[in-house]
Amino acid sequence: MESFQKTQVINAAPREVYKAFTTEEGLRGWWTPDCDVGEKVGDVHHFRFSNGDFNKLEIVELKPNERIHWKCIDGWDEWIGTEIIVNFVRTENGNTTMFFMHKGLTPNKLCYKGCKKAWSEYISQSIKGYVETGKGKPHIPEAENVIALKKA
């Protein structure tokens, strides 16, 4: 079965897109503000979401400005053992074509439909927006949503 894949052109150099995946500031800016981020192969990223949901992703490979590869080692049952592989290719005009694959996230998984929708939005809107404008659309934990609504 085919794993989830998406290609996105981002109007920035590969080093800027790579930083969005490899720095705490970047990952907080487009995925979730509640995370602890590793820096080298073998380190583990810990991403937290609403309702106690979390994922721990081990860094398998880092090729600066070219590729990241993570493997889910704990968290959502259907994610454990899946891998996130992202390749960054510089276009002729200096921008980046990003090839994103969540290997093992296949249509036979119960979470596939929701994850496909979420990844599509994170890639086409949040990562792209974060890198191009500094404004992503990361997950906002429910507690923070309640506080924001009370302040509004």
How is the chain split into domains, by residue range?
Answer: 4-151
Confidence of residue 152 (pLDDT cuts 50, 70, 90): very low
pLDDT for the residue numbered 53: 81
Structural element, H or E, at residue 75: strand 67-75
| b (16+ CB within 10 A) / e for 93-118 | eebbebebbbebbeeebeebeebbee
Q: Is the predicted pLDDT of residue 129 greater than 70, yes or no?
A: yes
Q: What is the rounded CA–CA span in Å between residue 10 and residue 15?
A: 11
Q: Average pLDDT of 127-142? A: 92
pLDDT at 148 (0 to 100): 42
Instruction: Let me know: does 30 contact 122? Beta carbons within 8 Å.
Output: yes
Q: What is the mean pLDDT of residues 106-131?
A: 96
Share of the chain above pLDDT 90, in %: 86
pTM for the full predicted model: 0.90
pLDDT of the residue at 52: 73
Phi/psi region, residue 5 (left: phi>0; alpha: psi -120 to 50; beta: rest), is beta
Confidence class for position 50, pLDDT limits 50, 70, 90: confident
CATH number for 4-151 (one of 3.20.20.80, 3.40.50.620, 3.30.1280.10, 3.30.530.20): it is 3.30.530.20
The predicted pLDDT at position 142 comes to: 63
CA angle 12, 18, 23 (to 5 degrees): 120
What are 84-97's pLDDT values in tens digits? 999 999 999 999 99
